[in-house]
Structure 1
Amino acid sequence: MTMNSSRYSSLALAALLALSVLAVPAGAVSVDGTAPPSAQVGSQQTATYTFTDLYEEYDTWTLRGSTELTQVTWTVTLYDQTGAKIAQHSPTGQSFEQQVQASEDVNKVTVRVEGTVPAVEEYSYEPAQQLTVAEFTQAQQGGSASMIGEAHTTRPYTESSQEARTAIEDAQSAIESAQSAGASVSEATSLVENAISAYNAGNFENAISLASQAEQQAESAASSAQTQRWLFIGAGVVVALLVIGGGVWWYLRQRDTYDRLG
């Protein structure tokens, strides 16, 4: 019985180890670099990414990069272990491929992408519309490909879309303040929801107008709630003074009566 229990325990341990091996991802290429949080439509954007730990999985593989920017130029630079430049390439277009080989002493790769932010086809307030500045994969010839890190995205905007977004954010902040003050914000909430719908439709002028109305409504509701609160406080103070005054008057009357009897 003890031997069977020991055997089952060993099998269970082996199964857990196998599952843990499957759950832990194999070593992967490291990438360092970010995209700007937002970028204006029509502007030039530049981002640089550095790749290290190149041979955790394969001794030879292909680095692929892609972007949604337009009029794109990539600058791909290969370095050896001393930091000396081995080679540099400048492909154009929205994608590129670069062979990475340990046999060529490539120890580090940098990729610089430069391009123009295109017009936005569809706007979204929440979640905000996103544009891929750069996305990278590691691929084997005739084999599988896997992403290196996550896609590096930015929020594209125009002056009008940013003005509308700011107006909606201001309205939402005013609504939150009014709610904290105990005010009714149903009308303001309805207005800001309509503003968001207008934003999503690309009707930024209408979105700004509705958001401004929502902000004014929320501020008015908050002011009314504050005034009402002070009126209640004032009424309470008056009642308290009347009670205190009545008590003092009663006390004085009782004392005067006692003195006359005495």
Structure 2
Amino acid sequence: MPRYALKIEYHGAPFVGWQRQTNLSSVQGAIEAALARLEPRTHNIVAAGRTDAGVHALAQVAHCDMADDWDPFRLSEALNYHLKPQPVAILDCKAVPDDFHARFSALERRYLFRILSRRAPAVHSAGLVWQIKHRLDLEAMREAAGILLGKHDFTTFRSTVCQADSPVKTLDHLTIAQVEAPGGVEYHFDVRARSFLHNQVRSFVGSLERVGTGSWQPQDMQAALDARDRAACGPVCPPQGLYLAHVGYPEDPFA
């Protein structure tokens, strides 16, 4: 069966997350339903990452197997037609080898988290940022972020329902940028690793926000990491500011 890689953008608000759930609206379910309109049968697509309820994607990657030999452009156009009016779009589609696997072939996942700091309510960014009313200490957050880099036991920063076999992960990249925004500023957290634990990025950002307010000192991040105890984590931030921004592979299937 011909295999295709899909690059997918979606707004996470209407969905229970990526993963298909019975009688609930999911991104996976929406795309599989669209595929069934093209080839009437059960479809099972596989994604690079299972985003949670309310989390968005700029470039999720999934693969699907089709019975017919589709032109990739026609397949993406047909899927986008059948996905309307749901906030899901196929940005690109390419034929890939049978051994390409959206999840297991991936070498890196990159997440973006957006915090908007301003007193006026968010209008154009409503549902797309975590809005706070106070400014944050950028340099203190950057110092604390550096503590998290490298290979660690991240028990403190993973959900109690996380199903990963081990809490040990390697965090390759965590930078924080301050960007001017109308009436305030945004803080952009760029986080990259081969794989992540459940709620790891949101746990990082929630704890870093505590550093930014002065409630924590940068060295408190080291203490939280060393505790290997979920109770030592700062508040887990809400999902609407989180985006799956990029998935890296040994060879870019969309190049």
TM range (shorter): under 0.3
TM-score of the aligned structures, taking structure 2 as reference length: 0.20
Structure number with higher helix proportion: 1
Q: Which structure would you say has the larger RCO, counting Cα contacts within 8 Å and 6 or more residues apart?
A: 2
TM-score (norm 1): 0.20
Give the structure with higher Rg (CA).
1
